[in-house]
Amino acid sequence: MDYSNIPGFLTTIFGFYVTLYSYNYFTESNLIINNKNIFIILIYSLIMISNNFYNVSFLKIPSSIIIIILFFLTLEKKINSKIVLSSIFISLLSIIIEFAISIMLALVVKDLKTMNRLLPVKDLFSLIFFWTYYFITKNFVFKYVYNKTLELLNKKKVIYILIMFFFFLTGALYSMYVVNYLNIQVYIFGLIIILIYVVIICCYLKEVHNNDLLKLKNVCLIERQQLYNSALEDYRILRHNLLNDFVFISSVCDEKVQKVIKEKVKKYDGKTKYITDISNIPEGLQGLIYFKSNIARKKNILFYTDNELCHKQQNFEIFSKKIYIDLFEIICITLDNAIEAADLSDNKVIYFNITSKNNKVYFVILNTFNNQIDLNNISNKNYSTKGPNRGLGLNYTKFLNKEIKIKTSIINNLFKTEISIMKKTKE
Amino acid sequence: MLKFVIVEDSPEFQEIICKVIDKTIFKTENDYRIEKYSKYSSELSNTIKDCSIHKIYILDIDLGKGPSGLEIAKEIRNIDWDSEIIFITSHDKLFETVYRNLFNIFAFIEKFVSLESRLEDNLLKIISKKADYGKFYYSNNKIDVQIYYKDITYIYRDTIERKLVIKTSNNKFLLNKSILEISKELDERFKQIHRACIVNVDRVNIFNWSKGYFELDTGEKVDLCSKSFKGNISNGLF
């Protein structure tokens, strides 16, 4: 080791102090600088200096990241993924900031290559870098990014993608370092590539975040729905028993009192909208039914749902994602057709029922209609009762999935579509 | 012979309904029988499946535990669209409108609003109603169709589409059949009055043979009336 580089060693120690403060800031931990920790800092500074001098070029940066990770694991005296992630975050942040400062320096200084060979100049640059790093990282933006990254610790898939991203970024940044300093165009080009990659990763992380939010909202919605259905069921039973009790009381009273009781009973005359409990079917289908029923109601169509699976206290699961998605699509198209047909009819009624029989689940959609139907061409491609450039929906659903059977019929003034699928029950 | 099927979990109400039936049917001299159930059972299921006898169901909707009156009504309609169903209920208008339209429910009677008198009126209406349950059936690999004869106004051959058109009060159905083929599937109320038209005479208000049109009870005027087929109407021949 070159002993004339004592300033370099001191700069490295300083760098570890700054990293430690930065770590405390991001993780909100209280790692203090006591005698024992000073000793650890000294040891790791030696290791870092050795890495800078003696390691193979392309391993310097990855090794320095590993040294930082080990440093914090030693200080914390425990091993967990949060410490590792925080260390990687701090290391990469320092590399990115150093890289940005290098770019700015390359724009200002003409002969950077010569400057780079002078150790005192290099040490001075490092000092400036560490000071700059300390103040820059106090910006709330980095803290925000850090906290968001930490939320992804529970998601293995996302962590693996992030780890790959970290390694790519490290490699890319390192490649920038070993290229000729004078060649500014290469730097800028490399920086653009890295920025594009960072933007892609940020978009991906944003989608992951939005997905989590949606899941959370969905859980809240389902909980509220269950509470509502439970309350509705309690109310229904109470009302039923109350009304029957009124009958009994009325039967033992004289005519005058009976009239009074009848008047009182009118208060309990059900004016509630009857909403069926559909919590035992997959959530996506629940959302679809609620969504389509809202569309129908906006068109003044009476949309009534029933769920016999609930009455039989059965759940059902679809075998595979593909079948589920196809079933969803078929029900969606059928409901759209039902809404369009009912809208044109005089009575405007749609009835949606879920029932089961002989190990099959049936989705039955009944709707009123007022139309001209060619019984031989119905569900043929390009045939539609709704005008030209239509006529793909029924044909498309017919051939979508052979596991899902669709049967259509007309009973007097009602159009009935029966969609059936084998079920896997969980009782 | 009429069969009254009462499904009601309250014994007091069962008695009230039985009294109303006895009082109403007694006036009409019809033979009848009453079956009472407090809940869905295998016996009730067998009664539903037996289509040999005309039935009138009087169902309470809330039956406590087990299938409700609604589910029983659905089971009835899976097999039998000819029996009449009366619901005894306190549900709201949304429910009533949907079920009246979709399951052909004859009446909804509220328990605490003149139950006896309203039930009596509705039973009289059912009994005096002419039983007319004849249906036209059609089936292919795409769709099954059943339409009450009483809903069909007329049938004609569309020479442009080259298809047979069955016209009902609200809809039009096109199919690949001839007038001759379909005539074999209809009952005596349908008469041919034009080379390309068969009409349901029960739905016609006026035949104007000189001007060559007929007018339906819906107000629609149809120019498919030929003097050469006038004999079918006057003779009662098809």
* Amino acid type, B170: N
| CA distances (Å), origin B151, targets A378, B172, B181 | 22, 11, 20
Cβ contact B213:B222 at 8 Å: yes
Contact B145 A347 (CB under 8 A): no
What are the residues whose beta carbons fall under 8 Å from the beta carbon of A140, sequence distance 6 or more? none
Task: Measure CB to CB from residue B171 to each of A273, A353, A370 and give the nearest one.
Answer: A370
In chain B, the domains with their CATH numbers are 2-128 (3.40.50.2300), 135-235 (2.40.50.1020)
**Pairwise CA distance, residues B140 & B64, whole Å:** 42
d(CA B223, CA B67): 52
Q: What is the DSSP string of B197-213?
A: EEEEGGGEEEEETTTTE
Whether B62 sits inside 8 A of A251 (CB atoms) is no
pLDDT of B236 reads 47
Region A75-102: mean pLDDT is 83
With contact defined as beta carbons under 8 Å apart, do A293 and A303 qualify? yes
pLDDT tens figures, A21-40 = 888 888 888 887 788 888 88
pLDDT in the model for residue A183 = 64
Q: Does residue B171 belong to the interface with chain A, where contact is any CB pair within 8 Å? A: yes
Looking at the partner chain, which of A304, A347, A411 has a beta carbon nearest the beta carbon of B146?
A: A411
pLDDT at site B165:
93
Cα separation values, A36 from A20, A41, A73, B140, Å? 14, 9, 14, 89
Interface test with A, best of B101, B145, B151, B153 (most A CBs within 10 A): B101
Which structural domains are found in chain A, ordered by start?
A: 3-182 (no CATH), 283-426 (3.30.565.10)
Residue to test with chain B: of A234, A261, A411, most B Cβ within 10 A: A411
B155: tokens are 């049938």
Q: What is the pLDDT of residue B154?
A: 94
Of the two residues A100 and B208, the one the predictor is more confident about is B208
pLDDT in the model for residue A365: 92
* Mean residue pLDDT across chain A: 78
| Binary contact (B144, A272; C-beta < 8 A) | no
So what's the pLDDT on residue B235?
55
Residue A100 reports pLDDT greater than 50? yes
ipTM: 0.78
Contact B94/A345, CB-based, under 8 Å?
no
Interface contact A274-B92, CB threshold 8 A: yes
User: pLDDT at position A383, please?
Assistant: 60
Share of chain A above pLDDT 70, in %: 80
What is the rounded CA–CA span in Å between residue B203 and residue B153? Answer: 6
CB pairs under 8 A between A and B: 129
Residues in chain B with CB shorter than 8 Å from the CB of A353 are 74
Give B5's pLDDT tier (boundaries 50, 70, 90).
very high
Instruction: Decide which of B219 and A269 is more confident.
Output: B219
Distance from CA of B152 to the nearest CA of A (A): 10
Evaluated on CA atoms A187, A193, A194, A199, the torsion sign reads positive
- Per-residue pLDDT band for B204 (boundaries 50, 70, 90) equals very high
CB nearest B98 (choices: A349, A372, A407)? A349
pLDDT, tens only, A145-161: 888 777 766 677 777 77
Express each pLDDT in A196-252 by its tens digit. 877 887 788 788 878 888 888 777 777 776 776 777 778 777 877 887 788 778 778
Alpha helices in B8-114 (DSSP H): 11-28, 42-49, 69-79, 93-103
Tell me: pLDDT of B28 over 60: yes
Q: Is the pLDDT of residue A172 over 80?
A: no
Mean pLDDT of B70-92: 82
A358 to chain B: which residues are within 8 Å by CB?
none
Confidence of residue A390 (pLDDT cuts 50, 70, 90): low
CA distance B194 to A120: 113
How much is the pLDDT for A249? 84
